[in-house]
Amino acid sequence: MKNTDCMAALTDKVIGAAIEVHRILGPGYLESVYEEALVHELQLRNIPLERQKVININYKDKAVGEGRIDLLVDQCLIIELKAVNELADIHVAQVLSYLKTTGLQLGLLINFNTKYLRDGIKRVIKSK
């Protein structure tokens, strides 16, 4: 796992990119539009990412399904994007499940359907 300082810097960069997307587009679009715009913004900033990363979900050593992470940034930060009226507990549970499955520690849940993006960003940390 990357060190805490590196993770904090990466998180700040991703949040900055998301704020730029929200500043230009504002609320009201579909999640797919924000994903496309955020991917473009992160690429402009030379931040490595994988889009729609498929992860296998196992139960007692048997593959039982797949999950799809919106963005996996620099192999260490999960980004789950939403465009909803408000974030719900199920959205946090989704990110926690992805963290558990991947063994990663940190995710960002970003809801672009807010007047101010700072109100739509939630850090999700997997406890040990």
Question: Which tens digit of pLDDT belongs to each residue from 49-63?
Answer: 999 999 999 999 999
CB 81 within 8 A of CB 35: yes
Q: What is the rounded CA–CA span in Å between residue 4 and residue 119?
A: 24
In this predicted structure, what is the pLDDT of residue 93? 96
Which tens digit of pLDDT belongs to each residue from 66-112? 999 999 999 999 999 999 999 999 999 999 999 999 999 999 999 99
Give pLDDT, residue 4. Answer: 67
- Rounded to two decimals, the pTM is 0.92
Tokens representing residue 124 in the block: 């999700």
Question: pLDDT tens digits for 1-42?
Answer: 456 666 889 999 999 999 999 999 999 999 999 999 999 999
> Taking CA 100 as the corner, what is the angle to CA 124 and CA 35, rounded to the nearest 5 degrees?
55
- Structural domains for the chain: 4-125 (3.40.960)
| Angle made by CA atoms 14, 39, 56, in degrees to the nearest 5 | 90
Nearest partner of 51 among 28, 25, 32, judged by Cα: 32
What would the pLDDT profile of 107-126 be if each residue is shown by its tens digit?
999 999 999 999 999 999 99
| Distance between CA atoms of residues 8 and 45, nearest Å | 16
Cβ(25)–Cβ(112) below 8 Å: yes
